[in-house]
Amino acid sequence: MKWNVVNIAFLAATVGIVQAQLSKVDRPRGVSLTKKVFYDPNKNFACFDGSRTIPFSQVNDDYCDCNDGSDEPGTSACPNGQFHCTNAGYRPLNIPSSRVNDGICDCCDGSDEWKTEGLCTDTCKELWKAAREYLQKQAAAASRGIQVRKEYSDRGIALRNENQKKLETMKIEIEEIKRLEDEIRIKKEETEQAEAVAKDTEQTAWNDFKSRVQKQQESRKAADAFTELDSNKDGSISVEEMKSHTELDTNLDGVLADDEIKALLGGDMAEAPYFIENTWKIISEKYISRPTEPVKAPHQEIDEEEHHDDDHEDDDLDEEEDDDDYHDEEDLEDEGYDDDLSEEEEDMEMKAKLEEGEPQKENSQAEQVEQKQEEKPEEIPEINLPSEPVWTDNTKALIEAAEKTRREHEEQQKRKKDLEREIASLEKNLKMDFGNDQAYKELQGKCFDLDTHEYTYRICPFDKTVQKPKGGGSETSLGRWGSWSGPETSKYSAMKYTGGVKCWNGPDRSTEVRIACGDENKLLSASEPSRCEYRFEFVTPAACEPIHVPDAAHDEL
Ligand code: MAN
């Protein structure tokens, strides 16, 4: 069962009035008990406004003497007078004195129509009965709401206690965190320092090693290119031998001219050391490796012309070329470019192990490779070495220790931040006014909607009020929780939500929410009495209070 706010107001008024019982006391017609003292038949009468004093016999003589009409409380002589109906047994009432003897019964006791005997019957008792029945009904309904309110209150109080305990625990925890903060930070810095030193040493050694390997790989490429370009295997590269590598066109005119080649070779020809140290550095990025057409050395051409029919001579020449090759290889070996396959394989295996992260027992990886390099300064096959070395066990332990303290520090900082946030939010919540018995706490975190023709209105108590067009479109904030705004005697009878979306050419939207007792939480109505100033009527068991119903004995009054 629900009832609306108007009924509640009526009910409250009725209770008050019924309690104001009246007894029959002799006084001029139309005068209330409280004003009787001013109408003493043994004294002159002083108009309330002080304008005149008249003999008492002129009170209620159907002639208006006082400007304020106070001399004619029981007649219609003064235009601005007031007539008081006693309405014994029901509720006293003041009516304009112009209604006295106008043929209409305004007072339930019929006292306003005193000239016409029998015109009015006394209906005060019936009215009282009806009012009492109404009050009884409302009280019964309120009692259901009161039960629910008790549940709300119990939950609200329990939650509050729980939150208070939570807050205390969190405060203790954050104090402990703050106490340990420096300790954990210093531990982290120390372990990170040790980690950095160890890593730095090994990284430097590894970088040195890597750059030596890369240098050797580059030299090896240079040597391979030399072998490839030296197509006649005469131990030097000539202009002719370079010609087919048009990708090396340095001035980008589309032609690899002799002059350009000579500039690259440092003359008409270049031998291996020059080529490797100078030419290769210029051409390495553009050079495209491919088998080069054999270019005959000048002496070969002559030999061939002389001995073109002599197979044996050809064999000799082949041998000679082989010899040249061998010498070339030897030359390269002398420069440190040995091509021994088994060494290569050995190195490959070692690199693979390094990359797999196989533990290095004694020395760091770079040191081991260093030793190997010292023993065998031969070339390293082309492999992509990782940017970091495989750390030694000692460094690994230091990294792990640093990571552990980093984690500890990070977790501690995160916990501290979370706690600070939770504490702030709990403190804010604990400061909120949910009523003396915490019953309104029940409404926090919930929302209630009301559909009207044009909008859906929503209230999320202690949070916001909102308006959403039913035809689609985004919602408009009608305000955020502000405060309780009921009058001093009933603070919890209204809420104020402020700072909503600014109204075009008007104020920020705001909502006044009138709260009344209901046996369920419900948004009953939403209106906009003034542009962008909204009024909601909301009922909730949290607002239900016991209703006093006067006892039946009063019926007799
Ligand atoms: C929207 C709604 C109305 C409001 C006008 C003001 O249409 O929020 O409630 O009166 O804007 O322009």
Cα 148–Cα 149–Cα 154 angle in degrees, nearest 5:
100
60 within ligand 1 shell (Cβ under 6 A): no
Asked if residues 481 and 463 have their Cβ atoms less than 8 Å apart, the reply is yes
pLDDT at 56 over 70: yes
Residue 34 above 70 pLDDT? yes
Q: Looking at residues 464-493, what average pLDDT do you find?
A: 96
Instruction: Answer yes or no: pTM beyond 0.85.
Output: no
Helix (H) or strand (E) holding 323: helix 311-334
The pLDDT assigned to 549 comes to 85
At residue 252 the predicted structure's pLDDT band, cuts being 50, 70 and 90, is confident
* Least confident stretch, 19-33, 55-69, 508-522: 19-33
Q: Which ligand 1 atom lies nearest to the CA of residue 531?
A: 10
Q: What are 346-368's pLDDT values in tens digits? A: 444 444 444 444 444 445 555 55
Mean pLDDT of the residues in the chain = 83
Say how many residues make up the chain: 557
- The answer to whether residue 23 scores a pLDDT higher than 60 is no
- Structure confidence at residue 319 (pLDDT): 37
Name the one residue in this structure whose structure tokens are 């939010």: 425
pLDDT at 364: 53
Tell me, using a 6 A CB cutoff, whether residue 277 lines ligand 1: no
Asked whether residue 304 carries a pLDDT value surpassing 60, the answer given is: no
Q: Which pLDDT score, from 0 to 100, does residue 141 have?
A: 80
In the predicted model, what is the mean pLDDT of residues 302-311?
45
Q: Is the CB of 477 under 6 A from ligand 1?
A: no
Q: Is 503 in the pocket of ligand 1 (CB under 6 A)?
A: yes
Instruction: Delineate the domains of the chain, giving CATH numbers in brackets.
Output: 31-122 (no CATH), 439-543 (2.70.130.10)
- Paired with 465 in beta bridges are 459, 479
- Residue 239: pLDDT band with limits 50, 70, 90: very high
Interval between CA 461 and ligand 1 midpoint (Å)? 22
pLDDT tier, 27 (very low <50, low <70, confident <90, very high otherwise): confident
Per residue in 313-324, pLDDT (tens digit) is 333 333 333 333
Ligand 1 midpoint to CA 523 (Å) = 20
Does residue 379 have a pLDDT over 80?
no
For ligand 1, whether the C-beta of 502 sits within 6 Å is no
- In the predicted structure, residue 1 carries a pLDDT above the cut 80: no
Alpha carbon distance 41, 465 (integer Å): 61
Give the HSE-up count for residue 70: Cα atoms under 13 Å, Cβ half-sphere: 18
Taking 90 as the threshold, does the pLDDT of residue 228 lie above it? yes
Give the per-residue pLDDT at 316.
38
pLDDT the model gives residue 110: 94
Q: Which of 454, 457, 468, 528 maximizes ligand 1 atoms within 8 Å of its Cβ, making it the mutation to test the pocket?
A: 528
